A and B are shown apart, each in its own frame.
Chain A
């Protein structure tokens, strides 16, 4: 992901503790297993007939001074993806504008269908619809998507973006682990041929085929990321493209002053017949930057004038929650939501430094999670978690049972000190000193003190190691500097636990703070990654989640929540589980 923009100290805390996430989450009701299949028939059902009205201006109020990245290959923040895909950047497939579990299913956008994999899902083909154009009217073809994807490989220019193109496309690596292909900007010492083989275009420039290193049954979810969307080579200025991306959607930028405002107007070149996905209701979208966060809340609460058509990209500040949600104030009931964000907050236990499983389990059961949730902000901050997969990742979630029987006894939210002592006694080894790394914020300091106290009660000595918040992940991702216990947060990159379990505990995982080295587990992960049948795959993720919890590689402290409030004349606003945001592309102004 990307750190979220700062929203006072509170958000710095969230950013630092939750940071590395991205797109998505999903629904609260977890029973819809349908629709996810790679091969499920895709039709033009994407069109949303919801009584929306054309016209008006949607106002977006932001604290940050800019949208972090408009460059599709650099955009990696859930709400920013929701914004860009909704208005300006077409992708091959996209998440349906819908509440609940339906909102994490995909529909075709630029592609004619949800893609066609080969038998073992190592190759995926998508055909681009007729009539898809850039804002200058030129047709979008396979070559444009291919060029867009190529940019991800220029890691020295295209920073901050997701790197799934590098890890998934069938291109060899050099000795130092980087790709032999270095992106479109380098002419020498660059294996362009390798890239040309990994992505091929049909003669008519309509069909794009991605050849992958390994089976990826959910690759048509991967391409919801704007990193897999088109960029016209002629307009690419490298670094500068971030300020002036070429639109392929129904809106284009007419004004963008960082720190002040961005105005999106209708893109006349956009052909509605080629786009069943975007209703494109408002005539204009105005983003106002650099607003004081409490002023944003107050404006939404007051709901006057233009603010009646206003929404935000960040949740309400804690100070405003009581006003909006307490006592069921009728003024807010219809225009607010309190639900899951995409993130799971958890502490990892470094298995390289705490090799004894029972020691790790002792830490897990001794922790007073009730107190940690209170410190984080109580019910508005989240609910107790029982794994690294959240209920809003509907298909892949199941109760892990870690608090009932996984460790040989019931573990209440306040922890089970006796069980922890028992586990240490049974381990046959003395409990090592535990050093707790965490990003330093006032809230995290309090949480760390709670960790120290609750573990001390079980006879576990904890040393605190606060780290400057902005540096935190840079430090702990370095095995040399990382200690035994670490604070972390994660959300899926797309709506499949393939972006959770392998990333957090897999051998090639980019966020393996638990330093898992378990051949049996890894074999199961590889099997799950290669499983094309989505339901069967989900069952495997559920088991692997439980496996990881039983191994005590991590202890979930919270399934995070977020609260939004919007203006009374905004239609179609709801918590869209695909990105944990409002469905920007679906919003309309009530006339």
Chain B
């Protein structure tokens, strides 16, 4: 049984070797001319402003969490919509229960003011 995995093992080995060789050749033979500009952190070509680590309002975090919540809801919608005909009424009821549970969370977040940007 283990032999079946041998191909994957060889593949991993060869891929890592190729990667190491490519990086190794570059490191050994490539010219190294460090300038201030080259050593600076890459910021999409813009001149870097201020330190890389700075405070971000926690509000972003809250919005991100809420986004994930409802994004995942949509992720579940998609396969359900595709299999809608096969699942029939049973699937519809299941989905409605799922939405109802998420709705509880939505109303909670709304009432607690998590959706206000003040």
Binding between chains A and B: no
The residues of A with any CB-CB pair to B shorter than 8 Å are none
